[in-house]
Amino acid sequence: MIFTGKKIDAALNEFSQTVKPVSLYKDAWKRLRKNKMALIGLVIVILYFAVSLFAPVLPFYPYERQEMRHIHLPPSPESAGIVMLRVRTAYFDRLMTREGRSEYTQAEQAELAAMRLEIETNPVHKRVYILGTDILGRDLLSRTIYGGRISLGIGVVGTFTALLMGILYGAIAGYAGGRLDNIMMRIVDIIYGLPYMMVVIVFMALFGGRNVYLLFIAIALVSWLTISRVVRGQIISLKNSEFIEAARSVGAGTPRIIMNHLLPNTLGIIIIYSSLSFPGFIMAESFLSFLGLGVSAPMSSWGSLIDEGVKGMELYPWLLIVPAVMMTVFLFAINFLGDGLRDAFDPQGKNKT
């Protein structure tokens, strides 16, 4: 189906019956709804973005608040005081077994009694850490959600920048053609020849790193190259079509032809590229954070949380499992959604369903 920027009226078939036209997007949504995994992925992605967006007004503990008495508490639906007492009692039990004793020492009994009294009187021990705490007694659920805000923000910025720069650059090169197209594409080839991750690492190292805004800029530097090539190829295949010739014949200028006629007919491939490239930007940010070039404390991202979890995974496995599972679920969901969108916007897919 070709988009010409105008509303399509109902048509008549060979039996003189009114046939209501179906747009590309309605047809794609109809096929997407039949893909169960893509719909599940869509729901999960929306849920992640909703929780990340409204995290400041949701009842989460502040991600930077430290409570040194709650260090390394395991995940539990019970209050922190009860979990803290249980952990300490289990430690004394192991110590007692190792030393061959049958009862606690006076010092251990006094410490447990003092801990019970504090738990009853201090309201801070009423907190509940569903996913446990880290090395500084910070709520891991809150840190994972706020870390997701950074990681999802990187994905949004990277994808938006790639679309904004890549679509504009590729559309101009593809429509202009000739020498200008050749020069513009050679520039893309030169930048493409540079190792992407090395460019980002060098940029972060030169300008100090560990700054979320620098991280945004670094990810956006070369994120637009692939989509510029994709859009250029689509524009080249469409620019000599009949509906484009018709637009030229009525005096439409180059900007209008590109914006109103060519780009709307490339939106399908652009949407697919966006959904499939989004996980790549999150993985790039996570890799940088894992190397220590990401965001700085007390802020966190999924990558930095995984880095912290790896260091203590043998004794405190939840520090690694929680952010890793949160990140993995999101990446699977958005990949399922991307695959579903690719199938939904595939013109050959119409004959498959």
Residue 42's pLDDT is 92
Over 90: is that where the pLDDT of 190 sits? no
- pTM score of the predicted model: 0.77
User: What is the arithmetic mean of pLDDT over 243-272?
Assistant: 80
Q: How far apart are CA 63 and CA 42, in angstroms?
A: 27
User: What is the arithmetic mean of pLDDT over 182-192?
Assistant: 87
User: What is the arithmetic mean of pLDDT over 121-128?
Assistant: 89
* 312 alpha-carbon distance from chain centroid: 25
Return the percentage of the chain with pLDDT > 90, whole number. Answer: 16
CB 3 within 8 A of CB 24: yes
Helices 196-206 and 267-290: angle between axes, nearest 10 degrees: 50
Over 70: is that where the pLDDT of 350 sits? no
Q: How far apart are CA 321 and CA 327, in angstroms?
A: 10
Pair of tokens at residue 198: 């090395």
Q: Identify the bridge partners of residue 12 per DSSP, sorted by sequence position.
A: 18
Residue 8's pLDDT is 47
What would the pLDDT profile of 298-336 be if each residue is shown by its tens digit?
778 888 888 888 888 888 999 999 999 999 999 899 888
User: What is the arithmetic mean of pLDDT over 284-292?
Assistant: 76
DSSP codes of every residue in 183-224: HHHHHHHHHHHS-HHHHHHHHHHHT-S--HHHHHHHHHHSTT
Pair of tokens at residue 21: 């036209």
- Model confidence at 14, pLDDT cuts 50, 70, 90, reads low
- Model confidence at 351, pLDDT cuts 50, 70, 90, reads very low
User: What is the arithmetic mean of pLDDT over 187-199?
Assistant: 80
CB atoms near residue 178 (< 10 Å): 7
Q: Which residues contact residue 41 at a Cβ distance below 8 angstroms, ignoring those fewer than 6 apart? A: 332, 333, 334, 335, 336, 337, 340
Residue 280's pLDDT is 81
- Model confidence at 193, pLDDT cuts 50, 70, 90, reads confident
CB 213 within 8 A of CB 285: no
User: What is the arithmetic mean of pLDDT over 259-275?
Assistant: 79
Residue 5: left (phi > 0), alpha (psi -120 to 50), or beta? left
Q: Which residues contact residue 118 at a Cβ distance below 8 angstroms, ignoring those fewer than 6 apart? A: 81, 125
130 in helix, strand or coil?
Answer: coil
Residue 353's pLDDT is 46
Pair of tokens at residue 306: 């995984």
Pair of tokens at residue 130: 């569903």
User: What is the arithmetic mean of pLDDT over 225-254?
Assistant: 84
Across the chain, mean pLDDT equals: 82
What would the pLDDT profile of 125-178 be if each residue is shown by its tens digit?
889 999 999 988 899 999 999 988 888 888 888 888 888 888 888 888 888 888
Which position has the higher pLDDT, 289 or 318? Answer: 318
Q: Which residues contact residue 220 at a Cβ distance below 8 angstroms, ignoring those fewer than 6 apart? A: 157, 158, 161, 162
CB atoms near residue 19 (< 10 Å): 10
CB 199 within 8 A of CB 221: yes
Over 60: is that where the pLDDT of 195 sits? yes
Helix (H) or strand (E) holding 92: helix 80-99
Pair of tokens at residue 320: 């690694």
DSSP codes of every residue in 3-67: --SSPPPPEE-TTS-EE----HHHHHHHHHTT-HHHHHHHHHHHHHHHHHHTGGGSSPPPTT---
- Model confidence at 21, pLDDT cuts 50, 70, 90, reads low
Residue 329's pLDDT is 93
- Model confidence at 48, pLDDT cuts 50, 70, 90, reads very high
What would the pLDDT profile of 52-67 be if each residue is shown by its tens digit?
889 888 888 888 888 8
* Radius of gyration, alpha carbons of the chain: 28
